[in-house]
Amino acid sequence: MSASTRRRAAGAVLAAAARCLLVLLCAVPPLAAQTVSGALTSATTVSGGVAAPGQSVQLGADEELSLRGSARLGVLRFSALISTSVSAGLGATARWASYSGAQTLRWSWPAWSAGAGGSAGAPAPELFAALEVKELAASVSGELAGLGIRAELGKFPLKWGVGKAFRPSDIFGGMDYSGLLPQAGGTPAARLSAFPSALSRVEAAAAVDGLGAIAAGARYLASIGDSGAFAASAGWRRASDAAEELSGSIEGQLDIGIFSPYAEISARHSASADYAYAMLGSGAAVGTFTFHAEAQAAVGLSSSDLRVFSLATWAPSELTSLSLPILWINDARTASGGILAQLQGIAGGRLDLSASATLLFAAMPPASVWSLRAAWSRSLSTY
Amino acid sequence: MKRRMWKAKSIIVALLLVGAFAASAPGAQTANAPAALALLEAVDSAQQYSSISYTGAMEITQGSRVLKKEYRASARGSDHVLLEFTNPEDLGVRMLRLGPSIWMYFPSEGDTIRISGSLMRQGLMGSNLSYEEVAEGESLRSTYSAEILREEKLDGRPCAVLKLSSSKTDISYPTRLLWVDTDRKVPLKIELYARSGLLMKTIFVRDLQPVSGRLLPTTIEIVDALRKNSKTLFSMRNIKLDLTLPDSLFTMQALTR
**Tens of pLDDT, residues A82-106:** 999 999 999 999 898 888 888 899 9
- Shortest distance between the Cα of A199 and any Cα of chain B, in A, equals 5
Confidence of residue A257 (pLDDT cuts 50, 70, 90): confident
Question: Average pLDDT of chain B?
Answer: 81
Instruction: With residue A53 as reference, give the H or E element that holds it.
Output: none
pLDDT over threshold 60, residue A231: yes
By the CB < 8 Å criterion, does B89 face chain A?
yes
Q: Is the pLDDT at B25 greater than 60, yes or no?
A: no
**Residue B27: band (very low, low, confident or very high) from pLDDT cuts 50, 70, 90:** very low
- CA dist B79 and A55 (Å) reads 59
Tell me which residues of chain B, numbers 44 to 83, contact chain A at a CB-CB cutoff of 8 Å: 60, 62-63, 65-69
Q: Which of A2-6, A365-369, B109-113, B156-160 has the highest mean pLDDT?
A: B156-160
Which pairing describes strands B65-76 and B80-85: parallel, antiparallel, or unpaired? antiparallel
Q: Chain A closest CA to B176's CA: distance in Å?
A: 21
Most confident of the ranges A160-164, A317-321, B9-13: A160-164
**Cβ contacts (< 8 Å) between B127 and chain A: which residues?**
318
Q: What is the pTM of this model?
A: 0.83
pLDDT of res. A324: 96
Instruction: Give the nearest chain B residue to A197 (CA atoms).
Output: B251
* B226 close contact with A: CB closer than 8 A: no
Question: What is d(CA B4, CA A132) in angstroms, rounded to the nearest whole number?
Answer: 50
Q: DSSP secondary-structure letter at A176?
A: B
Asked if ipTM goes beyond 0.90, one says: no
pLDDT band at B21 (very low <50, low <70, confident <90, very high): very low
Separation of alpha carbons B257 and B253, rounded Å: 6
Q: What is the predicted pLDDT for the residue at B118?
A: 73
> What is the per-residue pLDDT across B164-213, written as a single tens digit (0 to 9) for each?
888 877 777 889 999 999 999 889 999 999 988 999 999 999 999 999 88
So what's the pLDDT on residue A20?
Answer: 65
CB of B127 less than 8 A from some CB of A: yes
CB contact under 8 A, B127 and A221: no
Q: Are B103 and B94 in contact (CB under 8 A)?
A: no
Residue of A169, A187, A318, A350 to mutate, testing the B interface (most B Cβ within 10 Å of its Cβ): A318
Q: Residue B17 — very low, low, confident or very high, per pLDDT cuts 50/70/90? A: very low
pLDDT at position B253 is 92
CA atoms within 13 Å, Cβ hemisphere of A4: 3
pLDDT of residue A12: 63
Q: Which pLDDT tens digit goes with each residue over B61-90? A: 988 888 888 999 999 887 889 999 988 778
3-state secondary structure of B135: helix
